[in-house]
Amino acid sequence: MKKCLFVIVITLVLFACEKSPSDVVNNCVSTGGVPTAAEITGIETYLSGKGITATKDPRGFYYAILGTGYGADFPNLNSNVTVKYKGTLTDGKVFDSTSTGTTATFPLKGVITGWQYGIPLVKKGGVINLYLPPSLAYGCQASGGIPAGSMLIFNVEIVNF
């Protein structure tokens, strides 16, 4: 009887530790902001399939600097950045952007992690393309027109900070 009870308890513990279907959305598993090997492979596959040359950042995203900008300073987490930007999904669908001739201003520490890492790579006037895995963007949560577990692509021009 004790052996049977022990087996039942162990089985319950093992099943309790498994991810429930609600924890996994679009093959996305929350990683606490650390890109997975699968996410990085997904970005690499996308880039190579499109013939895009980009630099891999050790924090798990890719970027292409289209213009470094001018001046001596780079924005930092305490900066309010004024930008022109366009955000797209890998299928090319634009999910957010500034309108032609307009800008948006954000506190850098208040935006997604991928922007916090990527925007400080260019100066005022600089332009960068960011290729962000879900874990450095919206993760396993859908947001507006962004499906859960989406890799995001941003083209960002730093107007001021």
Q: Greater confidence, 161 or 29? A: 161
Mean pLDDT of 102-128: 97
Instruction: Please give the mean pLDDT across all residues of the chain.
Output: 85
**Are the beta carbons of 136 and 61 closer than 8 angstroms?**
yes
Mean pLDDT of 136-158: 95
Helix (H, G, I), strand (E, B) or coil at 82: strand
Question: Domains in the chain, start-ordered, CATH in brackets?
Answer: 2-160 (3.10.50.40)
Helix (H, G, I), strand (E, B) or coil at 8: helix
Q: Are strands 94-97 and 62-67 parallel, antiparallel or unpaired?
A: unpaired
Q: Is the pLDDT of residue 25 over 80?
A: no
Please count the residues of the chain. 161
pLDDT category of residue 17 using cuts at 50, 70 and 90: very low
